[in-house]
């Protein structure tokens, strides 16, 4: 465990820690202590998870003896997670910050160090062949002293076979499509009109929202890791019960720092309605139980007394890629709808293909509207995806032949269905309109053009589930649309 410097603690890469390093040992002890507290206690494990989301009928740890906080208290402090919103990153940063503070208070109460900091799980580290695996400290039934291991006490795995495999080897089926860091190329932070471009951090919304376009970082690797680990991690209401959740979100928070460090184009919103909006305060409890209210502009610098942490490594993993300026995913021209599906598309446990008729005239008009020298980019929108239960992530391919529906040159991106059920329920704080994803398919289209496999009058979109073992009916895509910008 690295020492704090001037009060600033270090969040370390979990895979660079020794087996049962003190960071993980004290984390396990603190989690066990938190789980002994009643759910109405803001320093308890279940209360912290409920801040993200809570439904009584989906609480796997519910007990008849539970005494919940008052309804007014729950409305203010529970079910607060921000998704499909430009508040996704700042809200979760505060959420993790106060969680870390609370865990540290338990660590200190147990006789541990006062500089304990939450580690992060860098599953995208291509230099570590084990990076995509779950470490043994989150799988072993016991601590080194033989006492129960609270870090392993969580449901994980999309299927019984993956659950068993994961417990034994740490392999829950996470692959490079789940850990891709293409989001780091996306400029700007905020999603544009019609979701074009999708943006790094999500669309402008109010604090309480009913869904929006999922930003690139929230899509992959955020949502994809939630779906891949699955179990409790696979739903808003139970995700925070898994000790891995917090390491996963520490990495997402770290990637925000990586993105900001890529260059002058990579900037947070300057709109006052993001930084310090009226009526959009984030309410939490600190380690003493006192109410703590803050706004997005207070969390930009992680080393201030409010947060007091830094990451062990925020180097740019794409720094050696030699990207030309035009390859950065941005664009300032108008977005033009050039085609859209006419019917909803029902996905299943088998590949599903839908056709989108394209208007070539609209493409030409969009190109004419671009500034001289500005590259034309192409966006594929999957709008208002709804469904019940937990679903697989879906790989998306464009113009793939029937005999090779998963050809690499046709790959467009991944759609993780994290939050599908919540976004589909009209009575849910996040619900009603479903999930909406935007994929920048410019590179895929350029590859197809080079192979003479691009058709500017018709687009075939194929959805292939990563996990073929699914229960019930698959998700339904409300509309598939194609935009040029």
Domain assignment present for residue 3? The answer is no
- pTM greater than 0.75 (yes/no): yes
Q: Minimal CA–CA distance to 199: which of 209, 180, 210, 214?
A: 214
**Are 307 and 351 part of one and the same domain?**
no
What's the pLDDT score for residue 435?
94
Q: Minimal CA–CA distance to 248: which of 80, 95, 466?
A: 95
**Are 139 and 258 part of one and the same domain?**
yes
CB of 306 within 8 A of CB of 344?
Answer: no
Domain assignment present for residue 198? The answer is yes
Domain assignment present for residue 275? The answer is yes
Residue 339: pLDDT over 60: yes
The CATH number of the domain where 428 resides is what?
2.60.120
Considering only residues 320 and 300, tell me which one the structure prediction assigns the higher pLDDT.
300
Strand 9-11 and strand 309-311: the pairing is parallel
Q: Average pLDDT in the 294-319 region? A: 97
The secondary structure of residue 481, as a DSSP letter, is E
Q: Average pLDDT in the 322-344 region? A: 71
DSSP string of 216-243? Answer: HHIIIIIIHHHHHH-GGGGSHHHHTTSH
A 10 A CB-CB count for 268 gives 21
Token couple for 126: 């291509």
**Are 280 and 181 part of one and the same domain?**
yes
**Are 340 and 239 part of one and the same domain?**
no
A 10 A CB-CB count for 153 gives 17
276, 295, 321 - which closes a domain: 321
Dihedral sign (CA 151, 154, 158, 161):
positive
**397 pLDDT tier (thresholds 50, 70, 90):** very high
Q: Structural domain tally of the chain?
A: 2
Token couple for 112: 């541990």
Half-sphere exposure of 256 (CA within 13 A, CB side): 27
CB of 390 within 8 A of CB of 234?
Answer: yes
**Are 336 and 295 part of one and the same domain?**
no
**Are 416 and 445 part of one and the same domain?**
yes
**452 pLDDT tier (thresholds 50, 70, 90):** very high
Domain assignment present for residue 44? The answer is yes
CA distance linking residue 268 with residue 299, whole number of Å: 11
**250 pLDDT tier (thresholds 50, 70, 90):** very high
Order the strands of the 378-385 sheet from edge to edge: 336-340, 479-484, 378-385, 435-440
Domain assignment present for residue 2? The answer is no
SS (H, E, C) 127-192: CCCCCCCCCHHHCCCECCCCCECHHHCCCCCCCHHHHHHHHHHCCCCCCHHHHCCHHHHECCCECC
What's the pLDDT score for residue 428?
61
**Are 317 and 385 part of one and the same domain?**
no
What's the pLDDT score for residue 330?
56
287, 302, 321 - which closes a domain: 321
**Are 287 and 342 part of one and the same domain?**
no
**318 pLDDT tier (thresholds 50, 70, 90):** very high
**Are 24 and 152 part of one and the same domain?**
yes
| Structural domain for 125, as ranges | 9-321
Q: Average pLDDT in the 239-261 region? A: 99
Domain assignment present for residue 446? The answer is yes
Domain assignment present for residue 326? The answer is no
What's the pLDDT score for residue 325?
42
**Are 103 and 175 part of one and the same domain?**
yes
Domain assignment present for residue 278? The answer is yes
CB of 417 within 8 A of CB of 387?
Answer: yes
All residues at 6 or more sequence positions from 13 whose CB lies less than 8 Å from its CB, including other chains? 119, 120, 122, 125, 312, 313
Q: Write the pLDDT tens digit of every residue in 35-65.
A: 999 999 999 999 999 999 999 999 999 999 9
**Are 62 and 203 part of one and the same domain?**
yes
What's the pLDDT score for residue 369?
76
Q: Average pLDDT in the 187-194 region? A: 88
The CATH number of the domain where 314 resides is what?
1.10.1280.10
Half-sphere exposure of 103 (CA within 13 A, CB side): 28
The least confident of 58-67, 81-90, 208-217, 327-336 is 327-336
Q: Write the pLDDT tens digit of every residue in 159-182.
A: 888 899 999 999 999 999 999 999
Q: Write the pLDDT tens digit of every residue in 367-390.
A: 887 766 677 899 999 999 999 878
257, 289, 321 - which closes a domain: 321
Token couple for 357: 């008729």
DSSP string of 46-115? Answer: HHHHHHH---GGG-TT--TT--PPPHHHHHHHSS----SSTTHHHHHHHHHHHHHHHHHHHHHHTT--TT
CA distance linking residue 215 with residue 197, whole number of Å: 9
- Is the peptide bond prior to 188 cis by the omega test (within 30 degrees of 0)? yes
A 10 A CB-CB count for 460 gives 17
**Are 380 and 252 part of one and the same domain?**
no
């Amino acid at each position: 465990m690295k020492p704090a410097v001037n009060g600033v603690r270090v969040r370390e890469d979990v895979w660079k820690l020794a087996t049962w390093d003190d960071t993980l040992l004290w984390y396990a002890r603190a989690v066990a202590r938190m789980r002994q507290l009643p759910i109405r206690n803001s320093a308890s494990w279940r209360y912290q998870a409920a801040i993200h989301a809570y439904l009584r009928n989906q609480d796997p740890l519910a007990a008849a003896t539970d005494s919940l906080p008052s309804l007014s208290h729950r409305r203010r402090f529970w079910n607060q997670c921000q998704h499909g919103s430009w508040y996704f990153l700042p809200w979760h940063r505060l959420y993790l910050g106060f969680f870390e503070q609370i865990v540290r208070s338990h660590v200190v109460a147990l006789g541990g160090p006062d500089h304990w900091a939450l580690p992060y799980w860098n599953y995208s580290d291509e230099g570590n062949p084990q990076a995509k695996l779950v470490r043994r400290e989150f799988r072993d039934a016991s601590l080194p002293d033989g006492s129960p291991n609270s870090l392993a006490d969580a449901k994980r795995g999309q299927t019984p076979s993956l659950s068993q495999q994961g417990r034994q080897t740490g392999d829950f089926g996470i692959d490079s499509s789940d850990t891709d860091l293409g989001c780091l190329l996306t400029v700007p932070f905020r999603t544009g009109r019609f979701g074009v471009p999708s943006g790094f951090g999500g669309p402008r919304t109010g604090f309480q929202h009913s869904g929006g376009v999922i930003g690139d970082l929230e899509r992959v690797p955020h949502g994809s890791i939630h779906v891949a680990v699955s179990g409790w991690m696979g739903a808003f209401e139970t995700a925070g019960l898994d000790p891995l959740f917090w390491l996963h979100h520490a990495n997402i928070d770290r990637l925000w720092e990586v993105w900001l460090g890529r260059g002058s184009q990579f900037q947070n919103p300057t709109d006052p309605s993001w930084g310090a909006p009226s009526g959009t305060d984030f309410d939490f409890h600190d380690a003493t139980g006192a109410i703590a209210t803050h706004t997005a502009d207070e969390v930009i610098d992680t080393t201030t007394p409010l947060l007091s942490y830094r990451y062990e490594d925020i180097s740019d993993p794409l720094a050696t890629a030699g990207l030309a300026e035009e390859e950065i995913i941005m664009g300032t021209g108008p977005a033009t709808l050039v085609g859209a599906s006419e019917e909803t598309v029902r996905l299943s446990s088998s590949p599903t293909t839908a056709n989108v008729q394209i208007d070539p005239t609209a493409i030409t008009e969009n190109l004419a509207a671009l500034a001289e020298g500005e590259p034309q980019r192409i966006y594929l929108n999957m709008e208002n995806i709804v469904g019940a239960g937990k679903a697989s992530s879906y790989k998306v391919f464009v113009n793939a032949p029937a005999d090779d529906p998963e050809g690499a040159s046709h790959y467009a991106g991944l759609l993780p269905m994290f939050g599908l059920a919540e976004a589909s329920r009209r009575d849910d704080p996040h619900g009603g309109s479903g999930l909406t994803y935007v994929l920048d398919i410019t590179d895929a289209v350029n590859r197809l053009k080079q192979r003479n496999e691009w058709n500017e009058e018709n687009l075939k979109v194929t959805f292939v589930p990563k996990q073929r073992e699914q229960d019930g009916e698959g998700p339904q895509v409300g509309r598939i649309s194609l935009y040029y910008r």
